[in-house]
Every structure is written in C-alpha cells, then in structure tokens.
Structure 1
C-alpha cells in the first residue's frame, strides 16, 4: 500500500511504551506496533527508495552488554547509506518525527580525512560556512560525540577546533507531531530536509567518503 501518513495511534503507542517498557506490554501490544508504526514506516521508506535501500532498525534493544537498559527502543528508525558515503536517517517516537543526514559516527579512517580537510584552509573554510548556513536554517548540528580537547596531532587553538573535535557531522531537524505527520505530506517534508542538507553531505562525500575499515572496527 502507498504511504498516507503515520496514524495518531503510533504516537500513542510510544507514549504508552515509554510508561511501561516491559515484555508484558510488548506482548500485549505487538500487533499495534506492526499496524501503526512498522507498516507505515515501511511504506514511507518504500516511497523514498530512490535514496535507499533503507534498513529498518529492530524494536528490541541489545541487552547483552548493558545494565538497566529497557528491552524495547522508544522509537522506530530507518537508515540508508548513499553511494558517496553520507547517510539518510529518520525516526518516529512519542515526540514525533526526526530527520537527519550526514555522518553520525565516523570510523578512524574517516575521522582522519575529515579533520585534515577541516584543517586545510580552502576546504575547511568551505565546510565552516556550510555548517553555519545550515544552523541559520534551523538545522541541529550533531554527531555521536566529540572530544573535550583537540585530538592528538591537531592544534587546540585552531580556528575550526570545534569542528575538528567532532566524531561525526550530522544535520537534523525535530519536527514534532504536527497535523501533517498524519498525512502523505511527511514524504515531502523528509525530502526537503535531506535536500537542505545536501551541500554539507556533498562536501563530506567528496572529502571523507565511505570507510574502508572492517565493519567490526567501526563505531556503529
């Protein structure tokens, strides 16, 4: 079926899961998750398949190495990596829709290329200007994390040290749960968000690109 929007029941499901993140709740409400969350998300990423193929994340948290972690994720995410290396991401939660693009978590080889390109005057000024422009258009500038000081081998007084300290570079927008979330307008909003992040993603693809490290050595 074609995507027609996320039903209000999807938000209600995540509100209730947030209040009772238990296996009992999940067992009693699994069909609601399938009907109101997974199915429309699958239909949406199918409509966005020119960016794909997308991977839909599992609803279960990995509890093997974490203590006191709830058994279920409180959002449904979908991700794809473009040919050039940058990613496209979106998720639905009790708070509504979040859309993002870029490199959330860079592997070691990507970080080296990214930092060297930021240090270089021509490419560094360019990404600095692109990020500032994105911020002025109300994109959140984020990453998996950042160092508290300069990475080894880099000047802590460098004028672009804030970028150099990052472990990734991602642009995102939290749209919340406006009325259009329940309509097919979602697809248009997602496409517009990704298009607005295009210049930053193009820079990252040109100067960072995909990692060549084995998957087990990457931070994601």
Structure 2
C-alpha cells in the first residue's frame, strides 16, 4: 500500500495509473480492509452511521492542481445523528498518516452554540481537554482555523478566549511512517479514535441542548 502510494506521488498521471491498475487494486484492498476493521471495532463502542471510503480520484473542478489522483487513502465515519454528533477520519499516506475528528464546518448557529457552551461551562470543557486519553493522544490541543479577533458577543478577557476564537474544533494525531507501517497500527489508531469520546459528548450536548439543558434537537 505505501509502496504504491509512494510511486503514485512520483507518477501522478493517468498513463502510469492505468499501467499499474493491479498494484492499485491490491493497495486499495489493503486500505479498505484496514478501514473496515477500524469501523467494526468502533461500532462496539459508539453509535455510528455507515463507513465512507473516499475515492482516489481527485475532484479537479475547482482546483489549480490538475494531478488526477490523491496520494493517500482516507475514510470518514460519521456518528449517528441527531443524538451522536461528530465524526472520525483516518488518512493513510507515506507523507502524512493521521487520525482526526471533530467539527470541521460548523454553521453560524452551531458555532455560536459551541462558543456559548465553552464559555458558560468552562470548567467542564477544561476537564474534557485534560482527559487522560485526549492528553495522551492529542496533547490536549484543538486543531483548526481560528479568528485573529474576539468573536462577536464575547469578551476579550474571557478565560476561554483561545477556544472561543476557533472556527473549527478538531482533534488530530499524526503518526510517523514507522508507526503507520507497524503491525499494531490499527490498534493504535482505534485507541486514538476512541479517546475522542469525551470531546464528542461535550460537543453533542452543546449542539443538542440549550444552556438550561433543554433539548433543541427537534427545533
């Protein structure tokens, strides 16, 4: 799988890809088997929607980069809405292998709810970010785009201002190539993905209830 992706990165064109279709199918099968295994274990611990495995063909419609193929394999596992929010992502590549999860594009209303919950329930969110699993797997850090200024409706001296500036709320764990090619990578990835649960639980509550803990999921 990694050998194929390495060669693809050096020969990212249709002619080469067509000539190495058998190698691609073998690499794809290896990635698919890995993703299905991860998914099957996660279903024992979480309530999930179906597994989405991304195609290797790139969408070139809005890109200046016209290379036709991705140089990684990836999958996304959405938790089952509306009561289980967030999702898990796994990316496999010689250049960058990582697991991630969270809230990539919250809309305006969702963003406001998340920020209000973090500000109002600051101590609980600190506890989430200090959770042993989140500290071990993600360094207790959130990743993603953020504002340079204070978000509207909040104070610049809010103790949680570093979190309130976030526009994306993501956890990410990068793996070295040695780790990614080890025999126990699947177990490491599963361990990391499961460690996200306290974060998902907090965010789900923020997005499905108001500050009085009344359900808004049907609104």
TM-score range, shorter chain: 0.7 to 0.9
Could you say if the C-alpha distance between residues 109 and 25 of structure 1 is closer, same or farther in structure 2, counting changes exceeding 3 Å?
A: farther
In structure 1, the residue corresponding to 2:175 is in which secondary structure? Answer: strand
Q: Deviation of residue 41 (structure 1)?
A: 2.2
Where in structure 2 are there 5+ consecutive unaligned residues?
A: 209-216
- Tell me whether 192-201 or 62-71 shows the greater mean CA deviation: 62-71
Cross-structure match for 2:63: 66
Number of aligned positions between the proteins? 197
Deviation per residue, 1:50-91 (Å, 9 max, x gap) = 255210112122111121353222211100111211101111
Answer yes or no: is 1:17 the counterpart of 2:8. Answer: yes
Could you tell me how far 1:16 is from its partner in structure 2? 2.0
Tell me which residue corresponds to 2:206: 207
Determine the structure 2 residue equivalent to 1:107: 107
1:30 corresponds to: 21
Q: Cα–Cα, structure 1 residues 69 and 153, in superposed 2: closer, same or farther, change >3 Å?
A: farther
Structure-2 residue corresponding to 1:126:
124
Structure 1-normalised TM-score?
Answer: 0.78
Q: Which runs of 4+ in 1 moved over 6 A?
A: none
What is the CA–CA distance in structure 2 between the aligned matches of 1:78 and 1:32, rounded to whole Å?
20
Asked if the contact 2:97/2:180 (under 8 Å) is kept, the reply is: no
Q: Conserved in 2, the CA contact under 8 Å of 1:128 and 1:160?
A: no
Moved more, 126-135 or 191-200: 126-135
**Alpha-carbon distance between aligned partners in 2 of 1:18 and 1:158, rounded to the nearest angstrom:** 46
SS at match of 1:167: coil
User: What is the Cα deviation at residue 139 of structure 1?
Assistant: 0.7
The 2-side partners of 1:115 and 1:181 are apart by 38
Structure 1 unaligned residues grouped into runs of 5+ = 1-9, 213-220
1:134-157 per-position Cα deviation (integer Å, ceiling 9, x unaligned)? 664251634442122122222233
Give the CA RMSD over aligned residues. 2.4
Does the C-alpha gap of structure 1 residues 70 and 147 become closer, same or farther in structure 2, counting only changes over 3 Å? farther
Q: CA deviation at 1:105?
A: 2.7
